């Protein structure tokens, strides 16, 4: 049997990537079955502002706020794994020696002591309940004083790493639990290991050249029948702000040919949100760089930052009280065989040596109540907690 037709498991691939000190990304698109993965054999994975159209096939992984320590990363698909066949294919321009070394490591099933990468960035601050509610009070005061309309405040929570934790097994549990989410596992030397089940598309351009983005906001526990959902004025307005923000991005690009559907109620795990879908058919509209332009304009959207963007961002950096790192950044495959699908990094966790860090946020407006916003972050953290109980 030649190398191209040999079959491997996701566990084989993941372990070999760690043993070879390579960055690896594993994902499954919403409402699909196929698990895909890629491994980069490049010296460095850092990039500048992403250019989607020119990019080779790979996986984008970007922080909320780019700093010296938290860079925009691109895991080039030098090796591409298809979970349906178990085959690994090298890219035409992949460095031949590194491909050989990787394939050798796979055959010998050499595994390192390390099971996954842990971020080199020390996580020194954690947000407490009192701290979070205090920040919400401050935000409400700033909104009442008309310094901004909305700000998304988030928090982190550290829990001990469950004794039997395995990233690949957790990824597989997410596949089962969240069929309509974008499920991912990313492990990069330096940046660490992140996994999540995101409900929110940031920018996608599929193989049929349909551009998509969404305005997602408003949160409540899911009811049995979506049709029975009742939304308060606060959530309707909050989602309306995200929608308005997206429309402004289209406007600044002078793009008028989009379709807009919604808002509709959608289910995300144990929660429901309001979502408006925007689409542009790039076969009919001559806008070849729409993906890149919208990515640059959209991030951070008012679903994770606020409105207007600049004062909300400054408020977050000044008062949130911890480092978001890659939470509420964006991630996803670029120029894959089924196109580019970049999601907001939500309902996620960071896996470290001895601990797991969970992240969640909530949109604060003038009508917010600190206790309710706290509860909302608790509910959002349930998405990953449900996965972790498998290992306890």
Contact between 362 and ligand ISJ (CB under 6 A)?
yes
Contact between 361 and ligand ISJ (CB under 6 A)?
yes
Q: In terms of Cα–Cα distance, which of 307, 339, 7, 378 is closest to 143?
A: 307
Of 9-17, 166-174, 188-196, 361-369, which part binds ligand ISJ (CB under 6 A)?
Answer: 361-369
Q: Spell out the alpha helix ranges (H) of 145-166.
A: none
Least separation in angstroms between CB 75 and ligand ISJ: 23
Contact between 387 and ligand ISJ (CB under 6 A)?
no
Q: Which of residues 148-167 bind ligand ISJ (CB under 6 A)?
A: 152, 154
Least separation in angstroms between CB 185 and ligand ISJ: 18
Which tokens sit at 21?
A: 């000190």
Distance CA 302, CA 362 (A): 11
The only residue of 12, 119, 219, 340 in contact with ligand ISJ, by rule CB under 6 A: 219
Contact between 299 and ligand ISJ (CB under 6 A)?
no
SS (H, E, C) 60-90: EEECCCCCCCCCEEEEECCEEEECCCCEEEE
Distance CA 6, CA 325 (A): 38
Contact between 218 and ligand ISJ (CB under 6 A)?
yes
Q: Is the CB of 160 or the CB of 232 nearer to ligand ISJ?
A: 232
Q: Judge whether 19 and 111 are in contact, CB under 8 Å.
A: yes
Contact between 349 and ligand ISJ (CB under 6 A)?
no
The only residue of 22, 299, 347, 379 in contact with ligand ISJ, by rule CB under 6 A: 347
Q: Is the CB of 167 or the CB of 363 nearer to ligand ISJ?
A: 363
Q: Is the CB of 45 or the CB of 302 nearer to ligand ISJ?
A: 302
The alpha carbon of residue 355 and the mean position of all alpha carbons in its chain are separated, in whole angstroms, by: 20
Distance CA 69, CA 369 (A): 34
Contact between 316 and ligand ISJ (CB under 6 A)?
no
Q: Judge whether 327 and 345 are in contact, CB under 8 Å.
A: yes
Taking each continuous run of H as one helix and of E as one strand, the counts in the chain are 8, 19
Distance CA 94, CA 157 (A): 39
Q: Is the CB of 99 or the CB of 348 nearer to ligand ISJ?
A: 348
The only residue of 135, 346, 351, 356 in contact with ligand ISJ, by rule CB under 6 A: 346
Of 37-45, 132-140, 210-218, 251-259, which part binds ligand ISJ (CB under 6 A)?
Answer: 210-218
Q: Is the CB of 22 or the CB of 380 nearer to ligand ISJ?
A: 380
Contact between 265 and ligand ISJ (CB under 6 A)?
no
Q: Judge whether 348 and 113 are in contact, CB under 8 Å.
A: no
Give, in order, the Cα–Cα distances in Å from 48 to each of 80, 137, 296, 319, 324. 23, 36, 12, 27, 19
Least separation in angstroms between CB 302 and ligand ISJ: 9
Helix (H), strand (E) at residue 339? strand 339-344
Q: Is the CB of 75 or the CB of 195 nearer to ligand ISJ?
A: 195
Q: Is the CB of 151 or the CB of 168 nearer to ligand ISJ?
A: 151
Give, in order, the Cα–Cα distances in Å from 281 to each of 80, 140, 205. 28, 40, 9
Q: Is the CB of 190 or the CB of 308 nearer to ligand ISJ?
A: 308
Q: Which residues bind ligand ISJ (CB under 6 A)?
A: 152, 154, 200, 216-219, 273, 303-304, 346-347, 360-363, 380
């Amino acid at each position: 049997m030649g190398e191209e037709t040999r079959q491997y498991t996701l566990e084989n691939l993941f372990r070999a990537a760690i043993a070879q000190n390579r960055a690896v990304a594993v994902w499954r698109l919403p409402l699909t079955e196929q698990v895909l993965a890629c491994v980069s054999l490049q010296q460095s994975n850092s990039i500048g502002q992403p250019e989607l159209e020119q990019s080779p096939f790979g996986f984008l992984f970007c922080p909320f706020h780019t700093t010296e320590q938290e860079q925009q990363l691109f895991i080039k698909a030098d090796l591409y794994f298809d979970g349906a066949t178990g085959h690994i294919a090298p890219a035409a321009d992949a460095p031949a020696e590194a491909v050989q070394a990787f394939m050798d490591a796979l055959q010998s099933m050499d595994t390192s002591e390390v099971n996954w990468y842990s971020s080199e960035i020390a996580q020194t601050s954690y947000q407490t309940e009192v701290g979070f509610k205090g920040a919400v009070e401050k935000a409400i005061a700033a909104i009442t004083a008309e310094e901004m309309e909305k700000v998304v405040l988030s928090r982190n929570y550290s829990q001990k790493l469950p004794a039997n934790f395995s990233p690949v097994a957790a990824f597989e549990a997410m596949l089962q639990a969240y069929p309509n989410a974008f499920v991912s596992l990313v492990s990069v030397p330096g940046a660490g290991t992140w996994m999540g089940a995101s409900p929110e598309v940031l920018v996608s351009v599929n193989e049929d050249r349909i551009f998509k983005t969404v305005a997602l906001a408003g949160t409540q526990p899911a009811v049995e029948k979506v049709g029975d959902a009742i939304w308060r004025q606060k959530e309707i307005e909050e989602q309306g702000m995200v929608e308005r923000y997206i429309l402004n991005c289209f406007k600044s690009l002078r793009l008028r040919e989009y379709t807009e559907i919604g808002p509709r109620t959608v289910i995300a795990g144990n929660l429901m949100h309001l979502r408006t879908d925007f689409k542009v058919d790039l076969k009919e509209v001559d806008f070849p760089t729409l993906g890149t332009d919208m990515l640059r304009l959209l991030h951070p959207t008012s679903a994770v930052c606020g409105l207007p963007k600049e004062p909300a961002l400054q408020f977050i950096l000044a008062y949130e009280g911890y480092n978001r790192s890659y939470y509420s950044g964006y991630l996803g495959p670029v120029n894959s065989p089924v196109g580019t699908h970049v999601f907001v990094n939500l309902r996620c966790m960071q896996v470290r040596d001895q601990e797991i860090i969970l992240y969640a946020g909530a949109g604060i407006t003038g009508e917010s109540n600190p206790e309710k916003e706290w509860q909302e972050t608790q509910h959002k953290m349930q998405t990953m907690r449900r996965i972790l109980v498998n290992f306890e």
